[in-house]
Amino acid sequence: MHPLVLASSSPYRRRLLEQLQLPFECAAPDIDETPRPAETAEQLTRRLALTKARALAGRYPQHLIIGSDQVLLLDGQPVSKPGNHAAALDQLRRCSGRTVRFSTALCLLNSASGDHQLACEPFDVVFRELDDASMERYLQREQPYDCAGSFRMEGLGISLFQALRGDDPNSLIGLPLIRLCAMLRNEGVELP
């Protein structure tokens, strides 16, 4: 088996990949993530997932490199990580009572052969109606300022939702593990 590399510095993606109990290393790709004119969210995430994996191919020439990228869409427009409390509160207010879509792309690149597998996993989150007090309580407890949508799915963020719709809830955290397992099996990696 080729060694695995996660093309990411995200602690959330790292924790997800650890669930598969396979040895891997992490390396941060240095790429330009600027959207191109008229590029859809899915096109952007697919391009960036592939670009992240390819950016590490020279350093890891005999590896399986995992690239992933995610965009949150609200009213068809991308929403970025809030970065601070005020922006997070604004995001939660905008999401309250609404459905938002996450588009998470995944690429598995075999750097030895140059072959890659690429997919995009959509996932919808239906927020319940949120009042200011509950949003404040949530933000004070979790401080999800590094998460698009201003919530942590793997934490107390689940309390903000009315429903989840999609094939793999791990895609909300940034790494669709069900699809990744299928890609790894296609490369001959043995999983339980």
Catalytic residues: 69
Task: Give yes or no for a contact between 123 and 101, defined as CB atoms under 8 angstroms apart.
Answer: yes
Please give, one letter per residue, the 3-state secondary structure of 96-111: CCCEEEEEEEEEEEEC
102/73 Cα distance (integer angstroms): 6
122/169 Cα distance (integer angstroms): 10
Q: Read out DSSP for 24-85? A: EEE-------PPPTT--HHHHHHHHHHHHHHHTTTT-TTSEEEEEEEEEEETTEEE----SH
Task: Give yes or no for a contact between 96 and 130, defined as CB atoms under 8 angstroms apart.
Answer: yes
42/152 Cα distance (integer angstroms): 22
Task: Give yes or no for a contact between 152 and 138, defined as CB atoms under 8 angstroms apart.
Answer: no
